[in-house]
Chains A and B, each alone.
Chain A
Amino acid sequence: MKIVIHMIATLTIIGVIAGGILSEVNDWASPLIEANQKAETEKAIFLVNPEGKSYEAVANADFEIYKVFDENKNLSGYSLAYEGNGFQGKIRMMIGLKSDLNEITSIEILEQVETPGLGTKVTENPFKDQFKGLQTTPQVNWVKGKSPEQPNEIQTITGATISSKSIVAIINSGLEKARKLQKEGKL
């Protein structure tokens, strides 16, 4: 009986001490972690909308979309964070749009687990630059193995066709959601 009490007491004491220390460390770390995450989102919002100086989250949206304002506090565009399936897993990206939603300013890949060296080429500039100034009406399209002819077309990467197509698909489904909000007058 004595040994059982000893066992329980030891474990309880260790548990309480560990819990106490952890809650202290957590109190110190959690504001920093939050600040990091906020800074990261902010950086991406302005990266895809370079003219932006301030931003504001759109209320009533069931996904992340931000209004971006220029230095005169005029609406310059929207940045929307959207995700979908890529070749091997989730791709999360930030899409910058002009205020009429008809032109992409720029895109940024936030998270991806694509094949290193092949699928990861979607995060590199030659691919991403294709989206600068891309028209989005009626939607973004891709072409394979030739140069794009229409203003709403991009060329897929050789060896990473599925990853490239996934990016286009994610943009299109994000756009669709944004347009729906626009129609409902919530933007």
Chain B
Amino acid sequence: MSKQKSMWYEFYKGIWEINPTFKQILGTCPTLAVTVSVMNGIAMALATTFVLVFSSLFISMVRKLIPNQVRIAAYIVIIAAFVTVADLVMKAKFPELSKALGPFVPLIVVNCIILGRAEAFASKNSPLRSFLDALGNGAGFLLALVVMGGIREIIGSRTFLGYQVMPNGFEPWLIMILPAGAFLTFGLLMGFSNAYLERKKRIEQQQKILQYRKSENELKEAEA
């Protein structure tokens, strides 16, 4: 590693810069499936973050002991063990949530975010950095699920976290809580965020061009 990045950056980057859902387009299945309500989204994100943090930490600690050829198999076993722990704890302590999320808790095991971070980050970095990176990516995933769940819950059932926020006169758009609504919301969200980022980039470029021209003019004036 040429230059060590700050610890804060390792955490912070996951939230927006390399947001797992919007930027890396990983973990789309749970993003679409569980975001019928904000509460489900939060529960899913917390379960995923739990698995992500502990498996990253653990993999990073044993990274030098695992032979390269079997590393993926070893990672999968470690991840699957933590997923089972999360699944059992949820079933024991939060039966309602576990029922609402259905098979999507066990499916965290194939969530590409976790294996992706294990392979791309935890296998090459120190436990502390891996821990922060996992926490950041988890937070980014949480943000994405809350935004998706929020939009779908507010428009689809007039509520946010179970509290009514839209007036009674507002007829809920049922499509938002149907599978079709998940695809549409995610597609539109992705499209608009692309559009926003492109516009920002264009404005920055134009400002740079302006600055360049200005300094060029100043140079010319100085020469004259």
Alpha-carbon separation in the docked complex, A30 to B91 (Å): 9
Interface string of B78-95 (1 = CB under 8 A from A): 101100110011011101
Interface string of B59-87 (1 = CB under 8 A from A): 00010011101100110011011001100
Assess the A6–B178 pair: CB atoms within 8 A: no
Distance of A115 Cα from B84 Cα, bound (Å): 30
Contacts of B178 in A (CB 8 A): 115-116
- Closest A-chain residue to B81, C-beta based? A18
Q: Which residue of A lies closest to B71 (CB)?
A: A10
Interface residues of A in 1-26 (CB under 8 A from B): 3, 6-7, 10-11, 14-15, 18, 21-22, 25-26
Chain A residues with CB under 8 Å of B74's CB are: 10-11, 14
Q: Looking at chain A, what size class is its interface with the partner chain? A: 20 to 34
Q: Is B106 an interface residue (CB 8 A)?
A: no
* Contacting residue for B84 out of A6, A25, A32, A37, CB 8 A: A25
User: Which residues on A sit within 8 Å (CB–CB) of B92?
Assistant: 28-29, 32-33, 36
**A101-155 CB contacts (< 8 Å) to partner B:** 115-118
**Could you tell me if A18 and B89 are in contact, using CB atoms closer than 8 angstroms?**
no
Given A10-B66, A25-B85, A117–B174 Cβ distance below 8 Å?
yes
Shortest A18–chain B CB gap in Å is 4
DSSP majority for the B interface?
helix
* Secondary structure type dominating chain A contacts: helix
Which residues of A lie under 8 Å from residue B70 when comparing CB positions? 7, 10-11
Q: Determine how close the nearest CB of chain A comes to the CB of B178; give it in whole angstroms.
A: 6
Q: What CA separation (Å) do A155 and B104 show in the bound complex?
A: 36
Smallest CB–CB gap between B175 and chain A, Å? 9
Alpha-carbon distance between A3 and B178 when the two chains are bound, in angstroms: 52
Q: Which residues of A contact B36 (CB under 8 A)?
A: 116
Range for the number of chain B residues in contact with chain A: 20 to 34
Cα distance A29–B91 in the bound complex, in angstroms = 8
Which residue of B has the minimal Cβ distance to A18? B81
Among B88, B93, B156, point to the contact of A26 (Cβ < 8 A).
B88
Name B99's closest neighbour in chain A (CB-CB): A111
**Smallest beta-carbon distance A186→chain B, Å:** 32
Query: Does B27 touch A at the CB level, under 8 Å?
Result: no
Tell me the bound Cα distance from A25 to B36 in angstroms: 30
In whole angstroms, what is the CA distance A25 to B156 when docked?
38
Closest B residue, CB atoms, query A34? B92
B51 within 8 A of A: no
Task: Say whether A7 contacts B69, CB under 8 Å.
Answer: yes
B127 on interface, CB distance cutoff 8 Å: no
Query: Is the Cβ of B67 less than 8 Å from the Cβ of A29?
Result: no
> Quick one: closest A residue to B173, CB to CB?
A117
Q: A18 contacts B172, CB within 8 Å? A: no
Instruction: Tell yes or no: A40 within 8 A of B by CB.
Output: yes
B118 at the interface (CB under 8 A from A): no
CB distance from B184 to the nearest CB of A (A): 15
Residues of A within 8 A of B89 (CB): 25, 29
B177 at the interface (CB under 8 A from A): yes
Q: A31-58 vs B: 1/0 string, CB under 8 Å?
A: 0110011001000000000000000000
Known: A14-B78, A36-B92, A116-B177; 9 extra A-B contacts, CB below 8 A, are A11-B73, A18-B77, A25-B85, A29-B92, A32-B91, A36-B91, A115-B174, A115-B178, A116-B157
7 contacts between A and B (CB under 8 A): A10-B74, A11-B73, A14-B62, A25-B88, A29-B88, A32-B92, A116-B36
Which B residues fall within an 8 A CB radius of A? 36, 62, 65-67, 69-70, 73-74, 77-78, 80-81, 84-85, 88-89, 91-93, 95, 156-157, 172, 174, 177-178
In the complex, the 8 A-B pairs of residues with the closest C-beta atoms, listed nearest first: A32-B92, A18-B81, A29-B88, A117-B174, A29-B92, A36-B95, A116-B177, A7-B70
